[in-house]
A and B are shown apart, each in its own frame.
Chain A
Amino acid sequence: MKRKVMINLIGILLAFILGAVVMLIQRKDPLLAYASLFEYSLGKKFVYTLNKSVPLVLTGLSATVAFASGPVNLGQPGQLLIGALFATIGGLYLKLPAVLMIPVLLLLAMIGGALWSGIAALCKHFFRMSEFITTLMLNMIADFFTLWAISYPLFEKDANHPQTPPISPTGWMPEWGNLSSSVLVMVLVFAIIGWVMNRTTAGYEWRISGQNSLFSRLGGVNVNKNYLVVMLLTGALAGLAGGLVLMAGPHRFIKDMGANYAWDGVMIAMVANSGVFLTLIFGLFFAVLQTGATGMQLTALVPRELIQVLQAVIVLIVVAGRGYFETLFARLEARRKMKGLAK
């Protein structure tokens, strides 16, 4: 356990050093940049970090559950957009009190996301089309479809950019101070997913199917049914992320709303090695980076886009380091034991 934490930390440290080198080349002060990054995101803007982590953790959980169970669902960006679109439509046309409105909109968002991943799941189920490419193509299609929806049928009159009118205020996520209640939803979903994956028969079956599909089929697991369930569930998670982004943030569907979270979920799942708890940790960590990016830009004049590079480098180094250091540690241990035997 300790070793695993070490490996992750070494990888992150290496990525930060690489980032520092880039800053030095551009004649910026890396220490000041990193200090302001963490000061901003963990200090005065900590609440925003928590709010920001909601879509990251949820799309991360979506990818994590998918990868751990086998299906290569790379469609989180598209599912997020369709989920947000469904919530928008509900928010524009339904008139309900907040107690009912919020659950209904969240449910709609989940249905939207599940519908979009369901298309890919059915393509695989009936036609054996690999979900890996279909979800990617559906991402692009969702991108253009939502852009059309907010440019024509749902377009707000006299707006300069493609966007919808604001949804009914009863559908806005309540806030305490600046902390959005969407964080509460995230914690709840995390607890449920953690429980399902680690404490139920279904979760066990999914994980075993992910590790060895043939073995689980021989053991009597209905692999096809599980595939469909996992695809729908992961789509619903990404859709929920989209609904929460909309209801906690701009309260209307604006152009490029999901672009920032597009691939982060997949990255978080990869760097978390498809573990539910690590997904939460890395989701929060990425939120710290992304929120802190603004502070870094303000104080150290390092452009915030550097964080995007840093995230990708962290993923590459941590995942590669995991394999590399594990063999290294194993070799060192073997050598130590050899010495013990020689004595």
Chain B
Amino acid sequence: MKIIIGLINGMLTSATPILLAALGGSVTYYAGIFNIAMEGMMLSGAFFAALGSYYYHSWVVGIFFAILGALAMALIFILFAVVLKMDEFITGIGLNLLSLGLTTYLVRQIDIPVTGIVPIPRIHFPGLEQVPVLGEILSGHNLVVYLTLFAVISIHYLVFKTRYGLRLRASGYNRTCLDTSGVSANRIRISSLLLCGILCGLAGAFLSLGVVEGFTQGMSAGKGWISLAAVILVSGSPVGIALISLIFGFTDGLGLFLQQDLPPQFTAMVPYIATLVALFVYSMRMKKKLIA
């Protein structure tokens, strides 16, 4: 029983950053932007979260800084891809590398001792905690985990139930149509990228103030790419993203669990292999659809 609870908790922790970044990717997916910059936004968020938390001794400031850091990356993306009309793919790659270079440069310049960092607290529900199994699973998680649940519901609502969501999807389906009906498609695209920045910033803050305390060089370690795969696999649907992120999170937790029998380098591969398997299943399904 303990193992299962541990696996589920590990799953939630590993799924959270992927899910948050993928939700950001989902918004830009609907807006019709080929956004691959989640990795860079997340990394920038992670660095600035650690910085803010250390200098102001507050995790609130940390989250605030993380969102600002990721938004700065989003603004650069907007400048190049939307304003200067540069290829989105090249912008995304350039931005990811810029973020990697910049955070590496800054982390060598500014010393952020781990001891001074105030992490994001865990939330305990007093009543729920008493319930035997359920309490251990549902209570005592990092605040960001609960925020993520809220984000899934609100992004789903935003995309499918609001006027903004309709315009967002219209921008992806047919930009000219949206433009001719009097709504600037570029404005929608810009706002979707900013929203993506906020979500990726939160994901970054969770990495450096939640999973571990402190920033290490390149700590996003491909999570942004996995979240991109998640977005593509379910064609952007927020609920689908939540499910697939949980699966990825589960494999990550499973990897840690397997560490008793396998060398750590192999267990660390598990999420990436899981992504490949998911892509394989997806392509098989598409093939069947084509034949049918």
Binds A, one of B95-103, B111-119, B130-138, B159-167: B95-103
Contacts of B268 in A (CB 8 A): 144
| B interface footprint on A49-66 (CB within 8 Å = 1, 0 otherwise) | 000000000000000000
Q: A23 to nearest B CB, angstroms?
A: 11
Which single residue of chain B is at the shortest CB-CB distance from A22? Answer: B105
Contact, CB under 8 Å: A316 / B279: no
Contact, CB under 8 Å: A270 / B93: yes
Contact, CB under 8 Å: B265 / A144: yes
Of A138, A144, A151, most buried by chain B (CB within 10 Å of CB) is: A144
Contact, CB under 8 Å: B105 / A319: no
Q: A210 to nearest B CB, angstroms?
A: 14
Q: Tell me, in angstroms, the Cα distance from A133 to B276 when the chains sit together.
A: 8
**Is A315 in the interface zone, CB < 8 Å from B?**
yes
Q: Tell me, in angstroms, the Cα distance from A152 to B232 when the chains sit together.
A: 36
Which single residue of chain B is at the shortest CB-CB distance from A72? Answer: B89
**Is B91 in the interface zone, CB < 8 Å from A?**
yes
Which single residue of chain A is at the shortest CB-CB distance from B287? Answer: A128
Binds B, one of A32-40, A279-287, A302-310: A302-310
Within 8 A of B (CB), among A116-137: 123, 127-130, 133-134, 136-137
Contact, CB under 8 Å: A140 / B272: yes
**Is B90 in the interface zone, CB < 8 Å from A?**
yes
Contacts of B105 in A (CB 8 A): 303, 305-306, 308-309
Contacts of A270 in B (CB 8 A): 90, 93-94
Q: Tell me, in angstroms, the Cα distance from A26 to B102 when the chains sit together.
A: 14
Contacts of A46 in B (CB 8 A): none
Q: Tell me, in angstroms, the Cα distance from A324 to B98 when the chains sit together.
A: 21
Q: Tell me, in angstroms, the Cα distance from A306 to B108 when the chains sit together.
A: 10
**Is B153 in the interface zone, CB < 8 Å from A?**
no
Contact, CB under 8 Å: A148 / B263: yes
**Is A147 in the interface zone, CB < 8 Å from B?**
yes
Q: Tell me, in angstroms, the Cα distance from A127 to B280 when the chains sit together.
A: 7
Binds A, one of B55-63, B172-180, B222-230: B222-230
Binds A, one of B15-23, B78-86, B184-192, B234-242: B78-86
Q: Tell me, in angstroms, the Cα distance from A140 to B93 when the chains sit together.
A: 16
Which single residue of chain B is at the shortest CB-CB distance from A128? Answer: B283
Q: Tell me, in angstroms, the Cα distance from A159 to B87 when the chains sit together.
A: 46
**Is A141 in the interface zone, CB < 8 Å from B?**
yes
Task: Give the size range of B's interface with the partner.
Answer: 35 or more
**Is A102 in the interface zone, CB < 8 Å from B?**
no
Q: A103 to nearest B CB, angstroms?
A: 31
Q: B46 to nearest A CB, angstroms?
A: 17
**Is A100 in the interface zone, CB < 8 Å from B?**
no
**Is B109 in the interface zone, CB < 8 Å from A?**
yes
Within 8 A of B (CB), among A261-307: 263, 266-267, 270, 303, 305-306
Which single residue of chain A is at the shortest CB-CB distance from B91? Answer: A316
Contacts of B94 in A (CB 8 A): 267, 270, 312, 315-316, 319
**Is A76 in the interface zone, CB < 8 Å from B?**
no
**Is A320 in the interface zone, CB < 8 Å from B?**
yes
Q: Tell me, in angstroms, the Cα distance from A323 to B93 when the chains sit together.
A: 17
Contacts of A168 in B (CB 8 A): none
Q: B49 to nearest A CB, angstroms?
A: 20
Within 8 A of B (CB), among A64-106: 72, 74
Contact, CB under 8 Å: B232 / A311: no
**Is A10 in the interface zone, CB < 8 Å from B?**
no
Q: Tell me, in angstroms, the Cα distance from A256 to B228 when the chains sit together.
A: 25
**Is A202 in the interface zone, CB < 8 Å from B?**
no
With A128-B286, A129-B279, A140-B222 known to touch, is A148 a contact of B86 (CB < 8 Å)? no
Contact, CB under 8 Å: A319 / B87: yes
Given contacts A137-B276, A140-B221, A267-B97, 18 further A-B contacts (CB under 8 A): A72-B89, A123-B279, A127-B284, A128-B286, A130-B279, A133-B229, A133-B275, A136-B225, A141-B272, A145-B269, A148-B263, A263-B100, A267-B93, A270-B93, A308-B100, A312-B97, A316-B80, A316-B95
16 CB-based A-B contacts, threshold 8 Å: A128-B283, A133-B229, A134-B276, A137-B222, A137-B225, A138-B276, A140-B221, A144-B268, A148-B265, A270-B90, A270-B94, A306-B105, A308-B104, A312-B95, A316-B80, A323-B84
Q: Which residues of A contact B (CB under 8 A)?
A: 26, 72, 74, 123, 127-130, 133-134, 136-141, 144-145, 147-148, 151-152, 263, 266-267, 270, 303, 305-306, 308-313, 315-316, 319-320, 323-324
Q: Which residues of B contact A (CB under 8 A)?
A: 76, 80, 84-87, 89-91, 93-95, 97-98, 100-102, 104-105, 108-109, 221-222, 225, 228-229, 232, 263, 265-266, 268-269, 272-273, 275-276, 279-280, 283-284, 286-287
